[in-house]
Amino acid sequence: MTVTKPESKSLTKEKAKWMYQKMCEIRQFEDKVHEIFSKGILPGFVHLYAGEEAVAVGVCAHLNEKDYITSTHRGHGHCIAKGCDLNGMMAEIYGKATGLCKGKGGSMHIADVEKGMLGANGIVGGGFPLAVGAGLTAKLKKTGAVAVCFFGDGANNHGTFHEGINLAAIWKLPVVFVAENNGYAEATPFEYASSCKNIADRAAAYNIPGEVVDGKDVIAVYEAAERAITRARNGEGPTLIECKTYRNYGHFEGDAQTYKSAEEKEKHLKELDAIVKFRNYILSKHLLFEQELLQIERNVAETIEKAVDFAEKSPFPTEEDLLKDVYVSY
């Protein structure tokens, strides 16, 4: 099989700049969270998105604030790509009252209604029906919005996968199902747990298009997402895109990752890095100059430092806050 190198015609200089910045934001944000977590400062479990940036950014590059996304336990990247405020996100991860969910959601449950971010989700497979509901909303209200459901390879064996995609297909809903196949459901290899070569192959069962994409190549993701989102906006129904990717860190912070080989890690972290690949693409196509890229990287580093500072200086929720937001009445 020959693989043609994707070369986007629709990618403008402005879009390339936005995408590079978002990818850097995700990487640096996650590397920073990794660093802080290892010092024992952060509470809870964190699941880092570093390594998978091309997926969230390549897809969200086509979305606007009216569009919806549902996310996973590994949701920081989706939040950033969908435009969530970094200060609010960092504070949320710290469990502070200034967080996007007032410190009550935490890393695994960041949500931002204004940005159409319907929530990271502590339950694997929890997002499928939610995205279908958002897609049906868009269809009934004729808003022109689409809903993107990000999910991992673990979720593709969950019952909600079948229920959600089938429903979106029979009702021709504007939903795009984006599988982030990073090779492992926690520690279980994809090949062991899934009775299919590709997750995208399962699209055939629902009579919808399925497409396998190199999830480390943001241009490839960008182009596949463009096709799927255009279809969705045109009322032609859902698409299943599978992005083959890799997570740089463990399933959660503290995971010993004994299931990954040293060669595999080396290959993905050094040779196949999505950001390096996109950087080279930008330079080779003369979309941006080296100086501009360096400036973006510096600005992002500064933004992340500010987010950490903001989070650290913010107050924790109080005991009274505990008893709020359970019902409308309290």
Partner 1 sequence: MAEITMIQAINEAMRQEMERDERVIVLGEDVGTNGGVFRATDGLLEQFGDQRVFDTPLAESGIIGTSIGLAVNGFRPIAEIQFLGFVYQAMDQLAAQAARIRFRSAGRFTCPIVVRSPYGGGVRTPELHSDALEALFTHSPGLKVVMPSNAYDAKGLLIAAIRDEDPVLFLEPMKLYRAFRMEVPEEPYEIPLGKARIVKEGEDVTIISWGATVPLVAKLAADMKAQGVDAEVIDLRCLQPLDIDTIMQSVEKTGRVMIVHEAVKTNGFGAEIAALISERALFSLSAPIVRVTGYDTPYPVPSVEDDWLPNAARIVEGVQTLMRY
Footprint on this chain of partner 1 (rule: CB under 8 A): 43-45, 94-96, 103-106, 108-109, 122-125, 154-155, 157-159, 185-188, 192-194, 258-259, 316-319, 321-323, 326
Any bridge partners for residue 213, and if so which?
243
Comparing CB distances to partner 1, the nearer of 1 and 262 is 262
Comparing CB distances to partner 1, the nearer of 67 and 253 is 253
Compute the least distance from the CB of residue 117 to partner 1, in Å: 17
Compute the least distance from the CB of residue 145 to partner 1, in Å: 28
Question: Exposed, middle or buried by CB within 10 Å (0-12, 13-18, 19+), for 277?
Answer: middle
Comparing CB distances to partner 1, the nearer of 3 and 323 is 323
- Identify the H or E element spanning 58: helix 53-60
Comparing CB distances to partner 1, the nearer of 326 and 328 is 326
Compute the least distance from the CB of residue 257 to partner 1, in Å: 10
Any bridge partners for residue 182, and if so which?
none
Compute the least distance from the CB of residue 119 to partner 1, in Å: 12
Comparing CB distances to partner 1, the nearer of 79 and 282 is 79
- Residue holding tokens 């004729």? 142
Q: Are strands 188-189 and 184-185 parallel, antiparallel or unpaired?
A: antiparallel
| C-alpha pair distances (Å), 37 with each of 31, 60, 62, 149, 315 | 10, 27, 32, 28, 19
State the Cα–Cα distance between residues 116 and 228, nearest whole angstrom.
Answer: 19
Comparing CB distances to partner 1, the nearer of 93 and 287 is 93
| C-alpha pair distances (Å), 39 with each of 42, 146, 247 | 8, 40, 21
Compute the least distance from the CB of residue 99 to partner 1, in Å: 9
Provide the 3-class DSSP secondary structure of residue 184. Answer: strand
Comparing CB distances to partner 1, the nearer of 163 and 236 is 163
Rounded to a whole number of angstroms, the CA Rg of the chain reads: 19
Compute the least distance from the CB of residue 75 to partner 1, in Å: 13
Q: How many residues does the chain have?
A: 330
Compute the least distance from the CB of residue 174 to partner 1, in Å: 27
